[in-house]
């Protein structure tokens, strides 16, 4: 939903552009931090969802830490004043340079994804004369019931250390003197809307936590990752995800040992609904079943529909009448997958109309490319 003033402003800005509503973002962050705070849960924001400075500034303001998956993100978090004891670093393929950067910044924790990585991290920590705090990312073999490209916690996926390797890894850690084992880490996928998936995760984590307790090992941190989904169909009536239900479920099902902290890594749920991609209709073209509305934004600006068959709500911002026509809303890129929605119900739409592609605040701008040498969409913020 955009105010009349906002729509007037949109007409003065060169399309396509990303529009971020900072009120929605602020309200979302406030709600998330209140709900998590009830149980003393710690939340690190997954920078890869959206790493714009203004977004990071607000994250910092509301007390979120930073969950990074590259050296570039670690550097961005440092540059945006996240304190180093609130920066964690995950990823299956950390390069030596990235590890050294994170060591130099004394980040809070490396979420380590393989035995090979443990050995390299130890060598680099020895060379740098540092101790690296580590959490072991465990692949819990829990199905996230989401798109297969964003499922990460099944044994067939590349992420994490398999459950049956855990005991061997713990033994190995005794010989890796520059690593300090502080936690278990899990992240099973993204856009998870079926909360029972998180219950399954809790039960799996409980088993592992009990197993470690039986060996007199109590990791200080249980990090259950992120993945909470949002409602792409109702960006206005469900702008803020149900954080109460989400954190409440963990409180109900996760059994922690005395002194253990619970950490989360949310990305999408915090930022998706505050953003829209605003684009202009260039041409209407007749098709066989439906007409095409060809817009000036493409998959180079927002790749989610092409990459994951993702749904985004599409609205005509110029003609606010009832949706009585159907259009395939497509971009200018030379790929048939450059389509934002098929048979989208819209009011009669003509060249020059502004179109909003909603819920584009997460995994939108960050995944933009220069494909076809099309310019990037700029970021515009609510005032």
Ligand X SMILES: *Cc1c(COP(=O)(O)O)cnc(C)c1O
Q: Which residues bind ligand X (CB under 6 A)?
A: 46, 48-49, 67, 69, 90, 187, 190, 225-228, 265-269
CB atoms < 10 A from the CB of 110, how many?
Answer: 27
Q: Which is nearer to ligand X, 18 or 363 (CB)?
A: 363
Q: Which is nearer to ligand X, 59 or 281 (CB)?
A: 59
- Provide DSSP, 234-246: -TTTT-S--HHHH
Least distance CB 183 / ligand X (angstroms): 13
Least distance CB 231 / ligand X (angstroms): 14
Least distance CB 63 / ligand X (angstroms): 17
Pairing status of strand 275-285 against strand 17-20: antiparallel
Residue 44, helix vs strand vs coil: strand
Cα dihedral 332, 335, 338, 339 sign:
positive
Least distance CB 146 / ligand X (angstroms): 9
Buried b (16+ CB within 10 A) or exposed e, 14-39: ebbbbbbbeebbeebbebbbebbeee
Q: Which is nearer to ligand X, 128 or 154 (CB)?
A: 154
Q: Which is nearer to ligand X, 75 or 318 (CB)?
A: 75
Q: Which is nearer to ligand X, 241 or 341 (CB)?
A: 241
Residue 6, helix vs strand vs coil: helix
Q: Which is nearer to ligand X, 60 or 316 (CB)?
A: 60
Least distance CB 46 / ligand X (angstroms): 3
Least distance CB 229 / ligand X (angstroms): 8
298, 333 in Cβ contact below 8 A?
yes
For residue 122, which of 104, 138, 99, 105 has the smallest C-alpha distance?
99
The rounded distance, in Å, linking the Cα atoms of 348 and 325 is: 6
Q: Which is nearer to ligand X, 124 or 362 (CB)?
A: 362
Pairing status of strand 179-185 against strand 132-139: parallel
Q: Is the peptide bond before 16 cis (omega within 30 degrees of 0)?
A: yes
CB atoms < 10 A from the CB of 111, how many?
Answer: 26
Least distance CB 73 / ligand X (angstroms): 10
323, 345 in Cβ contact below 8 A?
yes
Residue 27, helix vs strand vs coil: helix
Least distance CB 301 / ligand X (angstroms): 19
Give whole-number Cα distances, 191 to 130, 215, 311, in Å: 37, 35, 12
Residues comprising the chain, all counted = 383
Q: Which is nearer to ligand X, 265 or 365 (CB)?
A: 265
Least distance CB 91 / ligand X (angstroms): 7
> Looking at residue 192, what DSSP letter applies?
B
Q: Which is nearer to ligand X, 44 or 280 (CB)?
A: 44
Report the run of H or E that residue 291 belongs to, with start and end.
strand 291-295
Q: Which is nearer to ligand X, 225 or 331 (CB)?
A: 225
Position with the least CB separation from ligand X: 267
Least distance CB 287 / ligand X (angstroms): 35
What lies within 8 Å, CB to CB, of 37 at 6+ separation is none
CB atoms < 10 A from the CB of 318, how many?
Answer: 16
């Amino acid at each position: 939903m955009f105010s009349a003033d906002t729509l007037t402003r949109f007409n003065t800005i060169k399309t396509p552009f990303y529009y971020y509503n900072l009120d929605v973002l602020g309200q979302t962050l406030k709600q998330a931090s209140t709900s998590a705070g009830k149980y003393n849960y710690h939340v690190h924001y997954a920078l890869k969802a959206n790493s714009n400075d203004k977004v990071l500034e607000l994250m910092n303001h509301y007390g979120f830490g930073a969950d990074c998956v590259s050296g570039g993100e670690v550097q961005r978090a440092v540059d945006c004043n996240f304190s180093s004891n609130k920066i964690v670093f995950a990823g299956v393929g950390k390069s030596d340079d990235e590890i050294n950067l994170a060591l130099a910044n004394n980040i809070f924790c490396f979420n380590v994804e393989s035995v090979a990585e443990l050995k390299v991290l130890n060598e680099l920590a020895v060379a740098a004369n540092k101790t690296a705090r580590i959490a072991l990312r465990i692949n819990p073999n829990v199905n996230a019931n989401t798109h297969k490209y964003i499922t990460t916690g099944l044994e067939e996926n590349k992420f994490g250390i398999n459950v049956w390797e855990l005991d061997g890894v713990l033994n190995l850690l005794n010989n890796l003197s520059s690593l300090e084992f502080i936690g278990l880490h899990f992240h099973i996928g993204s856009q998870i809307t079926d909360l029972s998936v998180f219950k399954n995760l809790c039960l799996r984590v409980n088993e592992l936590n009990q197993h470690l307790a039986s060996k007199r090992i109590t990791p200080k941190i249980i990090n259950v990752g992120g993945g909470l989904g949002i409602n792409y169909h109702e960006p206005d009536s469900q702008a803020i995800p149900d954080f109460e239900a989400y954190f409440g479920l963990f409180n109900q099902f996760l059994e922690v040992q005395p002194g253990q902290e619970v950490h989360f890594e949310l990305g999408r749920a915090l930022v998706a609904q505050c953003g829209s991609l605003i684009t202009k209709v260039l041409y209407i073209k007749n098709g066989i079943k439906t007409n095409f509305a060809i817009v000036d934004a493409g998959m180079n600006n927002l790749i989610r529909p092409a990459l994951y068959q993702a749904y985004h709500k599409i609205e005509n911002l110029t003609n606010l009448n009832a949706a009585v026509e159907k259009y395939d809303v497509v971009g200018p890129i030379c790929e048939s997958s450059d389509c934002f929605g098929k048979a989208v119900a819209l009011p009669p739409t003509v060249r020059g109309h502004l179109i909003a592609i909603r819920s584009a605040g997460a995994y939108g701008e960050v995944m933009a490319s220069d494909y076809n040498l099309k310019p990037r969409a700029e970021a515009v913020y609510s005032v």
